[in-house]
């Protein structure tokens, strides 16, 4: 933060000098405001930190009171829950996936699939039954009797986990135009050791935990800005559609625009956080008062009271709304600039929108009215059969995923110690992630396959500068 402030004052000094010399030509004074330059990925919430803590820093523009609230949320984000009754953080389970938020969102960053004999840690599986003929598109997933909509692979002492998952990878080889061979691994999932039989036609969707910084900015993007990029019927004929998800908002009691999660199936961060407590940790809140295990045969007792208070829900929501976005690095490097050009030429920027402007997010002035560089449109895209989970989620069909933001992606290795990308972490580096793109991104992938090695290297170096 020190670095940030000194850089800022230097820039201010420069602009003061400039305006002093140029007082007779006001045109040059109206240069791009410093926070709007491409280095400041998160506008005024940007931090200049490329360390292993890069995703864990409070936005530097928080007021003292907001900073305190953020720190309270930080404590709760790290809180480890235990079986009730207990003095501190009771209410875990009876069935759950993990015991704290931070265990999945390690260092506020992203999770990964397990190594061969490691259990599931930060990868979870959503479940549902196929839609029946008369169930309409746009409805929530249909729960599996006895399992609900998520496989809870852990349980407290008196209960049984719902099951485990075995992951096998099949290697595929892809050869680019210049003869470079790239190995891709395609995952196969088998649900095993279930406490009761799973229906044969169950739909299973793997989801790795995404990073949680910069999310208040994404929540602050006005709906009409997002909808302006939607082109569901591909009216402009560029092969890219972009479709909004509309999902059930439990507070508003109506369908609203989905923004969060790999299929944009959560409308707000408040609801996303409450759903995480409920689905992932077995913790009830005022938004989701029913235990995720309610009605299941191996469990009889359920707590009636919300296990986490509205105050805690509020500070944790504020915490994920106000984590800073790390600044870009090496933006003037010629190879980075070449990669940025190739990113545009390959149509990557049609979905990964580089620059957006936020509106006002009530109660969070630090993320309001910011120019940001998230590299997402928050819309759903058909990504082809190989990435498909074949499990619809509200308006998202089985081949559609929300464009994930790319800001900070070059720091994942330093923060999380791995380079596993995509919704299930199958990609082992950025190039593999790109080469899995299909469907609406088919032309983009082909463009990358046609690139020379030097061009592909430049594209990667650009992504690493984000």
Q: Does 240 bind Ca ion (CB under 5 A)?
A: yes
Of 66, 61, 31, the residue nearest 44 (C-alpha) = 61
**CA proximity to 289, closest of 270, 269, 306:** 306
Report if residue 312 touches ligand HEC, rule: CB under 6 A: no
Q: Write down the least CB distance from residue 144 to Ca ion, Å.
A: 8
Q: How far is the CB of 5 from ligand HEC (least distance, A)?
A: 28
Residues 114-143 that bind ligand HEC (CB under 6 A): 122, 124
Question: Is 260 a residue that touches ligand HEC (CB under 6 A)?
Answer: yes
Among positions 231, 249, 345, 457, the unique one binding Ca ion when judged by CB under 5 A = 231
Are the C-beta atoms of 402 and 243 separated by less than 8 Å?
A: no
Gap between the Cα atoms of 259 and 264, Å rounded: 4
Q: Which stretch binds Ca ion (CB under 5 A): 149-157, 186-194, 264-272, 368-376?
A: 149-157
**381 belongs to the binding site for ligand HEC (CB under 6 A):** yes
Q: Please state, in angstroms and rounded to a whole number, the distance separating the CA atoms of residues 370 and 12.
A: 18
- Establish if 373 lies at the interface with ligand HEC (CB under 6 A): no
Question: Is residue 321 within the footprint of ligand HEC (CB under 6 A)?
Answer: no
Of residues 151, 144, 145, 146, the one with CA closest to residue 166: 151
Q: How far apart are CA 56 and CA 266, in angstroms?
A: 23
Count residues binding Ca ion (CB under 5 A): 11
List b or e across 355-364, with b for residues whose CB sees 16 or more CB atoms inside 10 angstroms.
ebebeebeeb
Report the chain's terminal Cα–Cα distance, integer Å: 19
Cβ proximity to ligand HEC, 19 vs 160, nearer residue: 160
Binding mask 87-106 for ligand HEC (x = CB under 6 A): ----------xx--x-xxx-
238 binds Ca ion (CB under 5 A): yes
Give Cα separations from 179 to 176, 267, 452, 459 (angstroms).
5, 44, 10, 18
Q: How far is the CB of 60 from ligand HEC (least distance, A)?
A: 20
Find the binder of ligand HEC among 128, 272, 278, 292 (CB under 6 A): 272
Q: How far apart are CA 49 and CA 441, in angstroms?
A: 32
Quote the Cα angle for 314-315-317, to 5°: 65
Residue 221 binds ligand HEC (CB under 6 A): no
Rounded distance between C-alpha atoms, residue 216 and residue 318, angstroms: 8
Inter-residue contact 128 to 143 (CB < 8 Å): yes
Q: How far is the CB of 36 from ligand HEC (least distance, A)?
A: 23
- Which spans of this chain sit near ligand HEC (rule: CB under 6 A)? 77, 97-98, 101, 103-105, 122, 124, 207-210, 212, 215, 240, 260-262, 265, 269, 272-273, 276-277, 280-281, 316, 320, 343, 346-348, 350-352, 381, 383, 387, 401, 403-404, 406, 409, 421-423, 430, 433-434, 437, 440-441, 444, 448, 463
- Which spans of this chain sit near Ca ion (rule: CB under 5 A)? 91, 147-148, 150, 152, 231, 234, 236, 238, 240, 282
């Amino acid at each position: 933060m020190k670095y940030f402030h000194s850089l800022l004052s230097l820039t201010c000094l420069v602009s003061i000098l400039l305006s002093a010399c140029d007082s007779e030509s006001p045109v040059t004074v109206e240069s791009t405001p410093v926070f709007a330059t491409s280095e400041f990925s998160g506008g005024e919430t940007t931090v200049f930190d490329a360390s292993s803590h890069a995703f864990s820093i409070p936005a530097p523009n928080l007021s003292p009171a907001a900073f305190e609230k953020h720190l309270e949320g930080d404590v709760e984000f790290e809180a480890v829950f235990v079986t009730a009754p207990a003095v501190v953080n009771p209410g875990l389970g009876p069935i759950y996936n993990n015991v704290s938020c931070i265990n999945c969102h390690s260092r506020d960053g992203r999770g990964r699939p397990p190594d061969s004999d490691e259990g599931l840690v930060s990868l979870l599986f959503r479940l549902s039954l196929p839609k029946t003929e008369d169930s309409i598109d746009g409805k929530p997933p249909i729960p599996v009797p006895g399992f609900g909509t998520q496989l809870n692979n852990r349980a407290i002492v008196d209960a049984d986990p719902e099951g485990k998952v075995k992951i096998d990878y099949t290697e595929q080889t892809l050869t680019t135009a210049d003869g470079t061979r790239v190995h891709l691994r395609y995952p196969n999932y088998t649900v095993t050791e279930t406490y009761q039989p799973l229906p044969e036609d169950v739909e299973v969707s793997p989801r790795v935990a995404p990073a949680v910084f910069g999310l208040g900015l994404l929540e602050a993007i006005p709906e009409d800005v997002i909808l302006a990029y939607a082109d569901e019927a591909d009216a402009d004929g560029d092969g890219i559609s972009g479709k909004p998800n509309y999902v059930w908002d439990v507070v508003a009691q109506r369908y609203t625009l989905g923004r969060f999660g790999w299929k944009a199936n959560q409308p707000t961060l408040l609801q996303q956080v409450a759903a995480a407590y409920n689905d992932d940790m077995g913790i009830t809140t005022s938004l989701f008062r029913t235990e995720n295990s309610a009605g299941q045969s191996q469990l009889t007792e359920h707590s009636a009271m919300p296990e986490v208070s509205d105050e805690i829900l509020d500070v944790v929501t504020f915490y994920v709304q106000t984590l800073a976005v790390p600044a870009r690095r090496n933006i003037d490097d010629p190879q980075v600039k070449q990669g940025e050009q190739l990113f545009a030429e390959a149509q990557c920027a049609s979905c990964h929108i580089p620059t957006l402007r936020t509106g006002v997010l009530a109660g969070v002035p630090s993320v309001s009215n910011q120019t940001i560089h998230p590299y997402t449109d928050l819309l759903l895209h058909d990504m082809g059969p190989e990435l498909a989970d074949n499990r619809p989620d509200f308006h998202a069909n089985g081949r559609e995923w929300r464009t994930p933001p790319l800001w900070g992606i070059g720091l994942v290795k330093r923060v999380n110690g791995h380079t596993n990308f995509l919704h299930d972490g199958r990609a082992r580096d950025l190039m593999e992630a790109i080469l899995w793109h299909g469907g609406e991104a088919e032309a983009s992938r082909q463009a990358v396959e046609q690139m020379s090695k030097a061009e592909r290297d430049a594209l990667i170096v650009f992504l690493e500068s984000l």
